[in-house]
Chain A
Amino acid sequence: MTEQSRSTAEIIGLVSDVITPIFTIERTMVMPFDLNRHENVGEHGFALGLLAGALAHTIDRSLDTGKITEYALVHNIVQIHSGDVTVWESDEVIRKKITDEMLAADRILADYPMFPWLIGKYKEYELRDTPEKRFVHALDKLYPHILILIEDHHPVHPTWAAYERTEEIAREHVAGFPALLPLFDDLCLMFRQKPHFFSTPIPPDESDRHSL
């Protein structure tokens, strides 16, 4: 086998074993044009990358949009082995997710050591030690709120109590990039005006709130 054909075979292997599976993993979020069609992880990576690149300099002109785009592309790549674990899962499942994702990352790197960028960039992202990484992570956590409001439809239809818990968790993540918190709070206030999102009533003291 020539060097060219070996490289080509390796790239086809990457397309086969890493990229293609990404399009088969369905998320909880649904598409605005078809509420019966779930977004897949690849579509989400594209949307987050485009969104993060578009929004970054409106929030902070010092952000590096190239790095932001790279992080958005790889941020869920390990899900080809670990699956998509949503915030609606049990605490036990969510705790296991961290271990599963680390193992998935090691597996991808072991299978494709010739493409170190893939998992190298993922592991870099997971450190959350730069503004760009924290920006992408925060935007990823408020993205569902935006999509649900656009669709005027909550695909999970949670109880108010269950939603409050996930809102708290999301807020902790968004707080990693504080400049996005006012936006997140505004989105949460909008949620409080949408009783049809929830399977139980919104408490009056919540729907009457003007700030969080």
Chain B
Amino acid sequence: MIDSATTPPAAAAIRTVLMRFSTTLAQITRANELPDPSAGFRPENDAEHSYELALVAIVVADLVDPDLDRGMVARLALVHDLEEIYCGDVSVFDPASSSDTRAAEKDAASARVLDDLRGLSPAVAADFQIYLERTCPEARFVYALDKIVPFFRVLHNGRHHARPSLEEYRARYATARGKVAEYPPLLPVFEHVYHEVGARLPGLNSN
């Protein structure tokens, strides 16, 4: 184990980033699934989701708005779920996801992450703050795309991880659309995938 008392500052900082953030996020599982050669499907973890979001965000940025700063898009995608190291991930199909309690948990977790990051890396702290406050188009773009990427995953997998009824699926439309609307150029993408998943839902639920 790296002993922080005798370790060079950079090595100690690296250890903290790896242990507290990246490996912790690799342990936080989501409701969304990834294909697994041995088990059919397995839960995706937050590290995988953040990596996927970053790659998809950059290629979609090219399609939607070439003026978006890709480097910033990449940085914000990697930090967008950091607070989940303290509050975990809750699926949108879980009623708790929209509760005031959950919102408070996320706020407290985000504040804690910012405290951690300020001493460790002001640059990453600044990125996380930008994402939380959505003070630039890149942050609003990443926030909106984060709500769309699960639809791509469902369509790729050919199955819906939550097996929602059509009523449950439709009940979440307004909330999801409201979030995507923070970056209006992504609305046509959202409408397209939302309706495609809805049209295929019985088949997606039976796989």
Query: Chain B interface: which of A94-102, A147-155, A161-169?
Result: A147-155
B155 neighbours in A (Cβ, 8 Å):
12
Q: Are A7's CB and B52's CB within 8 A? A: no
Query: Chain A interface: which of B73-81, B90-98, B159-167, B174-182?
Result: B73-81
Q: Are A54's CB and B74's CB within 8 A? A: no
**Quick one: CB contact mask for A31-45 with B, threshold 8 Å, 1 for yes?**
111000001101101
B19 neighbours in A (Cβ, 8 Å):
32, 150
**Quick one: CB contact mask for B50-65 with A, threshold 8 Å, 1 for yes?**
1110111011101100
Q: Are A11's CB and B60's CB within 8 A? A: yes
A57-B123 contact in complex given A50-B79, A146-B2, A187-B11, C-beta closer than 8 Å: yes
Query: Chain A interface: which of B21-29, B106-114, B129-137, B199-207?
Result: B21-29
Name A66's closest neighbour in chain B (CB-CB).
Answer: B71
* C-alpha spacing A70/B123, complex, angstroms: 16
Q: Are A23's CB and B48's CB within 8 A? A: yes
Total residue contacts A-B, CB cutoff 8 A: 174
Is there a chain A Cβ closer than 8 Å to B115's Cβ? no
A183-B8 contact in complex given A66-B74, A146-B18, C-beta closer than 8 Å: yes
Task: Give the interface of B toward A (CB within 8 A).
Answer: 1-2, 7-11, 13-15, 17-19, 21-23, 25-27, 34-37, 45, 47-48, 50-52, 54-56, 58-60, 62-63, 69-72, 74-75, 78-79, 120-124, 127, 152-153, 155-156, 188-189, 192-193, 196
A and B contact pairs by CB, cutoff 8 A, 18 listed: A16-B156, A22-B51, A32-B19, A42-B51, A47-B22, A53-B75, A53-B78, A54-B120, A58-B10, A58-B121, A64-B71, A66-B69, A66-B74, A66-B75, A117-B62, A117-B70, A149-B15, A150-B18
